[in-house]
Amino acid sequence: MSTHTLGLIGSAAGGLENIRTSLIEPAITRGWQVAVTLTPTAGTWLEDTGELARVETSTGLPCRVAPRMPREASPHPPIDCFLVCPASANTVAKLALGLADNQALTTVCEAIGTQGVPIVVFPRINAAHARQPAWESHLSALNSAGVHLLTGDEYWPLHEPRGAPAGKDLPWARILDAVDSVTPGQSTSSTD
Ligand SMILES: Cc1cc2nc3c(=O)[nH]c(=O)nc-3n(C[C@H](O)[C@H](O)[C@H](O)COP(=O)(O)O)c2cc1C
């Protein structure tokens, strides 16, 4: 029986196509229940490949993309830790500015202002995104708010656009290790 629920937020960036097999199923193996929310573009990507339905089967919960109706209850349980992965440059920028114009951002923006729920963000960006003049201030704002940013060469070396080595994968186990380590009462079980 799971004791912790991971709120996984996926945006439209590389690696999204693998979240079920590389992130959700390993998290469930580590003892997490996983509740997935996607940005609208990420939702269309996973719907297009049939992955969205498979994610719902794996998690046993609806995958949220659109906001609920006011008369509806939230389909997700309370969350113990949020993980934004992969986080596009766009979603990171909006989070830093507090823009909540989709369900994924609404969920995380509110969590940033809620004490006691850790938030981990893995920006899956390239060197051009990082040179955008506002990028450093976005990271600084999120860092000041207590968000755990998984940046730097040990997580994701920055390549020029379309310059990443073929087949380069996200450091899935290390990302889950970070989630485990910031969640009180969740034991780390690295597979690295
Ligand atoms: C095939 C493809 C791959 C992309 N990969 C990335 C990526 O790895 N990182 C990123 O920041 N943006 C990437 N983008 C651009 C984002 O999808 C785009 O900025 C989008 O508006 C992000 O929306 P979201 O943040 O609401 O999910 C990619 C776009 C396409 C079409």
| DSSP codes joined into one string, the chain | ---EEEEEEE-SSTTGGGHIIIIIHHHHHTTEEEEEEE-HHHHHHHHHHTHHHHHHHHHSSPPB-SPPPTTSPPSS---SEEEEEEEPHHHHHHHHHT---SHHHHHHHHHHTSTT--EEEEE---HHHHHSTTHHHHHHHHHHTT-EE--STTT-----TT-SPTT----HHHHHHHHHHHSTTPPP----
The pLDDT value given to residue 189:
55
Q: How far is the CA of 9 from the centre of ligand 1 (A)?
A: 14
In a domain, 93, yes or no: yes
Q: Mean pLDDT in runs of 10 for the chain (192 residues)?
A: 86 98 98 98 98 98 98 97 98 98 98 94 98 98 98 96 91 98 79 45
In a domain, 191, yes or no: no
The pLDDT value given to residue 191:
46
Ligand 1 atom at minimum distance from 90 CA: 25
Q: How far is the CA of 16 from the centre of ligand 1 (A)?
A: 10
Ligand 1 atom at minimum distance from 15 CA: 8
In a domain, 189, yes or no: no
Q: How far is the CA of 26 from the centre of ligand 1 (A)?
A: 24
The pLDDT value given to residue 89:
98
In a domain, 13, yes or no: yes
Structural domain span for residue 34: 4-68+77-182
Ligand 1 atom at minimum distance from 104 CA: 26
Cα–Cα dist 154/88, whole Å: 18
Q: How far is the CA of 39 from the centre of ligand 1 (A)?
A: 11
Ligand 1 atom at minimum distance from 91 CA: 25
The pLDDT value given to residue 161:
96
In a domain, 190, yes or no: no
Query: Cα separations (Å) of 30 from 15, 73, 100?
Result: 20, 28, 31
Domains in the chain: how many in total? 1
Identify the residue whose C-alpha is closest to ligand 1 atom 20.
Answer: 12
| From 39, 88, 124, mutation site for ligand 1 pocket: most ligand atoms within 8 A of C-beta | 88
Residues framing ligand 1 (Cβ under 6 A): 11-14, 39, 41-42, 88-91, 124-125, 129
In a domain, 192, yes or no: no
In a domain, 121, yes or no: yes
CATH value at residue 130: 3.40.50.1950
In a domain, 188, yes or no: no
